[in-house]
Structure 1
Amino acid sequence: MEPLNTFEILIRVLYQFTPVWIALALVFAFSVVFKRRMGLYGKLFDSPIGMIGFALVMFWVFTGIFAQMDLIVTHDPLAQISGMKNKVPGTPLRGAGPEDYGWYLLGGDNLARDVFSRMVKGAWEVIKIAPVATLFAFMVGITLGLPAGYYGGKLDTLLSFLANLILAFPVILLFYLLVTPEIVNTGVPNYMAAVLFIFPIIFLAVLLNSRYHTRPRLRLPLLVGVLGLAFWIYLSLISENGLLIDTPSTRIPGLPKTLDLFDIPGGILVVFVSVVFVNSPTVFRIVRGLAMDIKTRDYVAAAQTRGEGPWYIMLWEILPNARGPLIVDFCLRIGYTTILLGTLGFFGLGLPPESPDWGSTINEGRKLLSIYLHPALAPALSLLSLVLGLNLLADGLREESLKD
Structure 2
Amino acid sequence: MYEFLTVPQIITGILWQLLPVWIALAVVLSLSFFFRRSLGLYGELFGSGVGIAGVTLCYFWLFTALFASLIAPFNPLAQVLIMKDSLPGAIDPESGRAFLLGGDRLARDIFSRTVYGSQIVLLIAPAATGFALMVGTTLGLPAGYYGGRIDSILSFLANLVLAFPVILLFYLLVTPGIMETPIPYAMAGVFFLFPIIFFATLFYTRNKHRPGLLAIQLGLTVLIGGWIYAGLVFNADPFGIIAIRPNELNIFVAVVFASSPGVFRIVRGLVMDIKTRDYVAAAQTRGETPWYIMLWEVLPNARGPLIVDACLRIGYTTILLGTLGYFGLGLSPESPDWGTAIKDASRLLRAFVHPALPPVIALMSFVLGLNLLADALREQSLKD
TM range (shorter): over 0.9
- Check the 8 A contact 1:239/1:263 in 2, yes or no: no
Where do residues 215-294 of structure 1 align in structure 2 (5 Å cutoff)?
A: 215-240=210-235, 255=236, 258=238, 261-294=241-274
**Aligned twin of 2:347:** 367
**Aligned twin of 2:94:** 95
Q: Percent identity?
A: 60
**Aligned twin of 2:74:** 75
1:51 and 1:179, CA in 2 relative to 1: closer, same or farther beyond 3 A?
A: same
Q: Which of 76, 83, 107 matches 2:102?
A: 107
Encode CA deviations 1:292-334: one digit per residue, 9 max, x unaligned.
0000001100111111110110000000000100000000000
Q: Secondary structure at the match of 1:162?
A: helix
Opposite residue 121 of structure 1, the aligned amino acid is Y
**Aligned twin of 1:206:** 201
Distance 1:129 1:167 in 2: 21
- Structure 2 stretches lacking a partner, 5+ long: none
Aligned length: 383
Distance 2:373 2:46 in 1: 11
1:192 aligns with 2:187: yes
Distance 1:228 1:85 in 2: 49
Opposite residue 34 of structure 1, the aligned amino acid is F
Aligned-residue offset at 1:392: 0.2
The alignment's TM-score, normalised by the length of structure 2, stands at: 0.98
Where do residues 60-209 of structure 1 align in structure 2 (5 Å cutoff)?
A: 60-67=61-68, 70-96=69-95, 102-209=97-204
**Aligned twin of 1:8:** 9
Encode CA deviations 1:16-70: one digit per residue, 9 max, x unaligned.
1100000000011110111111100000100110110110011001001100xx1
Aligned-residue offset at 1:217: 3.2
1:299 and 1:354, CA in 2 relative to 1: closer, same or farther beyond 3 A?
A: same
Distance 1:341 1:259 in 2: 28
- Check the 8 A contact 1:86/1:112 in 2, yes or no: yes
1:303 aligns with 2:283: yes
- Check the 8 A contact 2:87/2:101 in 1, yes or no: yes
Opposite residue 70 of structure 2, the aligned amino acid is L
Aligned-residue offset at 1:226: 2.3
- Check the 8 A contact 2:179/2:247 in 1, yes or no: no
Opposite residue 290 of structure 1, the aligned amino acid is L
- Check the 8 A contact 1:345/1:359 in 2, yes or no: yes
Distance 1:47 1:190 in 2: 44
Structure showing the higher helix proportion among its residues = 2
Aligned-residue offset at 1:261: 4.3
Opposite residue 59 of structure 1, the aligned amino acid is F
Opposite residue 200 of structure 2, the aligned amino acid is A
Encode CA deviations 1:203-239: one digit per residue, 9 max, x unaligned.
0111001111222232233212322221222112111
**Aligned twin of 1:251:** none
Opposite residue 55 of structure 2, the aligned amino acid is F
Distance 1:362 1:260 in 2: 32
1:20 aligns with 2:21: yes
**Aligned twin of 2:315:** 335
Opposite residue 321 of structure 1, the aligned amino acid is N
Distance 1:211 1:108 in 2: 56
- Check the 8 A contact 1:60/1:123 in 2, yes or no: yes
Aligned residues: CA RMSD: 1.2
Q: Which of 362, 365, 368 matches 1:385?
A: 365
The alignment's TM-score, normalised by the length of structure 1, stands at: 0.93
- Check the 8 A contact 2:232/2:242 in 1, yes or no: yes
**Aligned twin of 2:30:** 29
Encode CA deviations 1:366-403: one digit per residue, 9 max, x unaligned.
11111111111110010000000000000011111211
- Structure 1 stretches lacking a partner, 5+ long: 241-254
1:7 and 1:259, CA in 2 relative to 1: closer, same or farther beyond 3 A?
A: closer
